[in-house]
Structure 1
Amino acid sequence: MARYTGPKSRIARKFGEPIFGPDKALEKKNFPPGFHGLASRRRKKSEYGTQLKEKQKAKYMYGVLERQFSNLFKKASASKGVTGEVLLQLLEARLDNVVFRLGIAPTRSAARQLVSHKHINVNGEVLNIPSYTVRPGDVISVREKSKSLEVITTSLNSRRSSKFAWLEWDNSQLAGKFLTRPERAEIPENIKEQLIVELYSK
């Protein structure tokens, strides 16, 4: 199963944001990597470069590779609503992202691993496809035999209750419900989705 496995701090420094979560390396060196890192701040980026960078940031943030991202954009374009917002809603509805948002895993990559290793149920059935699109009303839960896993218990102990309005969490059952697709204003990620739409429109 293809996914990005390269150096994460380097990518976070490239975008100047902790896109993979808290990063001490980014805090110490808040400038692009490489010999010309500091100097690159002064170079003016082209319109295409700015748009491409925004798409790359979204891909890294949600752990999606080029073909998957392109397919999601086509799906968003064919759907009703504002294309950029629908694209983010589709990314938010990925099973690995929902597991992360519910607080079952500390990062999206950890959530992806939990799903792949069959620790997660959707509507009572084991589902090991991280890219699965969760639908409103779906119940995402931790498998009974996986409830004592350290990564899950540690993550749940540090989660904040009712963090996202489109999700509902039942701590006694270690299960959450995907209530509805989130509005753009509810999605906290710093992504300028209109730049991505402009890039694909060229």
Structure 2
Amino acid sequence: MTKRIHAKHKIDRRLGENIWGRPKSPQNKREYGPGEHGQRRRGKLSDYGQQLRAKQKLKGYYGNITEKQFKAIYHEASRQKGDTSERLIGLLERRLDAAVYRAKFVPTVFAARQFISHGHVKVNGRRVTIPSYRLKEGDVIEVRDKSKDLGMVLEAAQSSERDVPDYVDVDHGKMVATFTRVPTLSDVPYPVMMEPNLVIEFYSR
């Protein structure tokens, strides 16, 4: 069961962007925030406000990541060699739930978590029920045979709403995908601009 019990698209309205690029987002109809004060003109954000917003947007995009988990991913990225922003994105995209979503086996990142938790996914031939499972280059992700004909899976695979990125090689006929490489920020098909550099600044204050 998903941890998020409130309307998912309130994230869109609060941030003022359709962060998943979905046609059903209320942000497409009401370009103002939720609540009685939502239509007030927004003031200019401080540096801290911009950093916080960038963090909320990136964290919210991946669905059900808790603050504790997200901060731990940042700390791990900061310990690795190279650009911390790029490392952060790479670690997020290596999550199994992110890869299942990228492969278009499910329609949303929220559905990906539930799909994995319910035992519908195998990695390298073994069933994995941990959405945060970290993939390595060359890992093969497969929808279990009994789950391949689920309506949600078939609908997601045929959807033209989004494309599969080139770091995930997918065969929708067999419902098998290979995580070919760790992507950089420019590789990831975010519908809106993500600013991981501001997330780094937020946590390194």
Cα deviation code 1:43-93 (max 9, x no counterpart)? 122111111111111111102110000110011011111101110111111
Quote how far apart the aligned CAs of 1:162 are.
7.0
Larger relative CO (CA 8 A, sep 6+): 1 or 2?
2
Partner-residue secondary structure (3-state), 1:148: coil
Cα deviation code 1:97-153 (max 9, x no counterpart)? 100000100110111111000000000110000011111010000001111111111
- What is the identity percentage for the equivalent residue pairs of Structure 1 and Structure 2? 39
In 2 relative to 1, CA 92–193 (structure 1 residues): closer, same or farther, beyond 3 Å?
same
Partner-residue secondary structure (3-state), 1:22: coil
Q: Determine the structure 2 residue equivalent to 1:198.
A: 201
Which one has the bigger helix percentage?
1
Q: Distance in 2 between matches of 1:109 and 1:24?
A: 15
Quote how far apart the aligned CAs of 1:161 are.
9.8
8 Å CA contact 1:103–1:159 kept in 2: the answer is no
TM-score (norm 2): 0.91
What is the RMSD computed on CA atoms of the aligned residues? Answer: 1.8
Partner-residue secondary structure (3-state), 2:39: helix
How do 1:80-159 and structure 2 match up within 5 A?
Answer: 80-158=81-159
8 Å CA contact 1:162–1:168 kept in 2: the answer is no
In 2 relative to 1, CA 156–75 (structure 1 residues): closer, same or farther, beyond 3 Å?
same
Aligned positions, number:
201
Q: Determine the structure 1 residue equivalent to 2:59.
A: 59
Unpaired runs of 5+ residues, structure 2, are none
Q: Distance in 2 between matches of 1:161 and 1:35?
A: 33
Q: Distance in 2 between matches of 1:98 and 1:147?
A: 17
Unpaired runs of 5+ residues, structure 1, are none
8 Å CA contact 1:73–1:87 kept in 2: the answer is yes
Quote how far apart the aligned CAs of 1:9 are.
2.4
TM-score (norm 1): 0.92
